[in-house]
Amino acid sequence: MTPGPDLQQLIDTIRQDAGTDDVLVQLATASSTINDLTSTSDAALGYFVDRARGAGKSWVEISTVLGVSKQAAHKRFADSWAASPDFSRFTNRCRAVLEAAGVAAHGLNHSFIGTEHLLLGMYSEPASIATKVLLAHDITEEKVAAAIEPLSPAREPEAADQTDTALNEGPPFTRRAAHVLQDAVSEALALGHNYVGTEHLLLAFYRGQAAIATKVLEQLGLDEATAWSDIRAQLKELGK
């Protein structure tokens, strides 16, 4: 295994990055560097946990390898995003998609943001990679909305009145939607990207086969292999 930097190497790197002998600047640089390392390490570990889950490994098996309890592993990797989402790596376009997802949920009188709303939110950013891929396969917003309707029908306005407070504060993400957002970070990491874009979000839909967005995409003819190929082609064209 390739060894990581030792303590002295890390200290020397931080001092070099700070570019000054000012101890407060060095401290601020150290804090930023360690936070970045911790975030990247967590994302990397999460990526391999996701792969293990995708291979059918149980939380008991995963927790044994990690040396923690099943409850601790599940809380860290399955529930942590929903409790405290981190969008710091998300691009402006991707964040706009999340905001549009909330609008889509509100428009359907839903008191939650699910994967179906995330998919609808893609169309708020027509210049994004993911939306270009969707439209290239004639998967329009209208077709997506029609496919979602029987799977996640709109609620009657009077049925939603009880949740007005929650909606005004912003509807919460469902567990599956939260996992998709977390998986988008893993997809970005797998591609060697330090940001999370709409393309990573689109790929993340395919990690949860039970998600409504996944069912809709496959129903409309866009499978994971095709989405992956189209995204790679666009990234190559953009030099990423």
The whole-chain average pLDDT of the chain stands at 85
Question: What's the domain count of the chain?
Answer: 2
Same domain, 203 and 153: yes
Same domain, 100 and 200: yes
Residue 163: pLDDT over 50: no
Measured in Å, how far apart are the chain's first and last C-alpha atoms? Answer: 28
Same domain, 65 and 164: no
pLDDT for 73: 78
Across 2-16, 126-140, 145-159, 183-197, which has the greatest mean pLDDT?
126-140
Classify residue 61 as exposed, middle or buried by CB count within 10 Å of its CB (0-12, 13-18, 19+): middle
Cα gap 160→126, rounded to integer Å: 30
Tokens 């306005």: give the residue: 157
Same domain, 53 and 161: no
pLDDT for 84: 60
C-alpha distances in Å from residue 174, one per residue of 21, 147, 216, 218: 48, 19, 17, 21
Number of helical H runs and strand E runs in the chain: 15, 0
Same domain, 44 and 132: no
Whether residue 120 contacts residue 213, with contact meaning beta carbons closer than 8 Å, is answered with: no
Question: Region 48-55: what's the mean pLDDT?
Answer: 72
Looking up residue 120, the CATH number of its domain turns out to be: 1.10.1780.10
Whether residue 121 contacts residue 101, with contact meaning beta carbons closer than 8 Å, is answered with: yes
φ/ψ of 171, rounded to 5, equals -65, 145
Pairwise pLDDT comparison (209 vs 99), residue with the higher score: 99
Same domain, 96 and 186: yes
Residue of 115, 111, 117 whose CA lies nearest to 159: 111
The helix-helix angle for 59-66 and 23-54 (nearest 10°) equals 140
Residue 110: pLDDT over 90: yes
Residue 192 in any domain: the answer is yes
State the Cα torsion 81-83-88-89 to the nearest 10°: 10
Cα gap 124→141, rounded to integer Å: 10
Q: Residue 176 sits in which domain range?
A: 92-237
pLDDT tens by residue, 194-214: 899 999 999 999 987 788 999
Residue 24 in any domain: the answer is yes
Same domain, 219 and 103: yes
Same domain, 123 and 199: yes
Residue 78 in any domain: the answer is no
